[in-house]
Chains A and B, each alone.
Chain A
């Protein structure tokens, strides 16, 4: 990557999160610059989801989280989306009691510039034509893959500056996984900074500029995606060699 000064969009410093007596995140620090795809990878239970939840203000935490230089502790969690931080959560966070269309519109719940919305929805349908067919259907009737498409589309309608995706490939057929990762890259090329959480480390490292490997609540190594991909230790531990 270029050595020009880069703008830090999201900066996490010495983050600690616990669930009661269980400490899930033990002093994680990382930084994301404008225009990057950064992934957090690591085994199940490493603390990836917990980290994203803490960033979104859904869990109490210690440490500092800066969004465009501003501490997120000074922003109510429900206002983060208006500051450009958008989170497609683990489990996809779809409202199964609403229709697909209502779910999509909730993505734009806080937007003032709603005149662009129809065009942006069309853009989502270009990415995921299936959603257009299911627009009036109850979201509860969607397959896992369709729910994932809905979750990503809905997040896009929030107009993210930083998009956090928690395991977008989980439980999907290989063909759809490919498609999801292609879309992640496409969105990035359209200017969205992406924080990607994945257990599918190989795919994640391939598309990421940089990555952090989490182990039991701590960052074990970090580096450029393709460097980590070639690292024998990483290969042994996370890529199944």
Chain B
């Protein structure tokens, strides 16, 4: 039982990370009906900018909240900028071409960033900087609730609440939902669709930046190909929740994290990554619209 509780804590941590990344996939899909395959590399760049930024600003000399939030800010700024650039220069020129062109371009950008990462950062894994010191906050038998666990869950929670507020309550958030429904009708309202798409990429990428620092704290190893598997799992989480659906991405991410933790704990770590693929195939066969997705018909 104690062991199970510990797995729940770990699974929620991992799931919160997946959820943050899944939100980026689902937001872009909601607006452009396109899978931004480069999102996983945005996540990777987040981790590396925290890595090099921490080195540059000597953040690890004084681990603590200041250093942690500085690393978080660095990752957010780097990811948002990269997301913006990818949208502006890779996707926007293809906005009116067939969907497959954008898809292939997305894969191209993803590969480009992976290999550029290997050239620039080196292919060897690096240790995520210790911008915060971990310790047990609460111990019960063999169960430990550590500072990192609480940090990851609360920062992820705050990020998601802010996102929800932004989307549901602000003028730009409302415009974003309008654009996701119809470019044409949104334009008639005076909404600049290009600006809203840029905002979508900025916000979605910022969330990947948050995820990269949180998962970096907990799992510590980073390398230029780190985005591929995590990106795939987050993508599956988004599909599981119903791609385009924001709460769905959160639930999908948490389910993904929890089930991965349980599979490793109670079956075998061999199946850790097979789970995501299995789940993807299963969803696509049984309910392609995901848990919360309605196969909505959009009128233009």
Contacts and interface: CB of A to CB of B under 8 A. Distances in A.
B188 A87 contact: yes
Contacts of B300: 91
A3 B190 CA distance: 36
B189 A109 contact: yes
A105 B175 CA distance: 10
A89 interface: yes
A77 interface: yes
Specify which of B175, B182, B193 lies most central, judged by the most chain A CB atoms within 10 Å of its CB. Answer: B182
A96 interface: yes
B264 to A, nearest CB: 38
Interface string B199-228: 000000000000000000000000000000
Contacts of A56: 187-188
Contacts of A86: 188
A81 B174 contact: no
B185 A158 contact: no
Contact of A110 (B184, B185, B190, B193): B190
- Categorize the interface residue count of chain A: 20 to 34
A241 to B, nearest CB: 35
Interface string A129-167: 000000000000000000000000010001000000000
Interface in A160-178: none
Contacts, number: 66
Interface in B160-194: 171, 174-175, 177-178, 180-182, 184-193
Contact of B184 (A76, A89, A105): A89
A105 B174 contact: yes
Nearest to A102: B174
A34 B187 CA distance: 25
A97 B190 contact: no
B181 A81 contact: no
Contact of A78 (B177, B180, B181, B187): B187
Contacts of B189: 81, 106-107, 109-110, 154, 158
A79 interface: yes
Interface residues of B, number: 20
Contact of B187 (A77, A105, A154): A77
Given A78-B192, A91-B299, A109 B187 contact: no
A67 to B, nearest CB: 14
Contacts of A98: 174, 177-178, 181
A34 B255 CA distance: 61
Contacts of B184: 58, 89, 93
B177 A95 contact: yes
17 contacts: A58-B188, A78-B190, A78-B191, A79-B190, A80-B190, A81-B190, A89-B188, A93-B184, A93-B188, A94-B185, A95-B178, A95-B185, A97-B180, A98-B178, A98-B181, A102-B174, A109-B171
Interface of A: 56-58, 76-82, 86-87, 89, 91, 93-98, 102, 105-107, 109-110, 154, 158
Given A102-B174, A102-B177, 18 more contacts: A56-B188, A58-B188, A78-B191, A78-B193, A79-B190, A80-B190, A86-B188, A89-B184, A91-B299, A93-B182, A94-B185, A95-B177, A95-B182, A95-B185, A95-B186, A98-B181, A106-B174, A154-B189
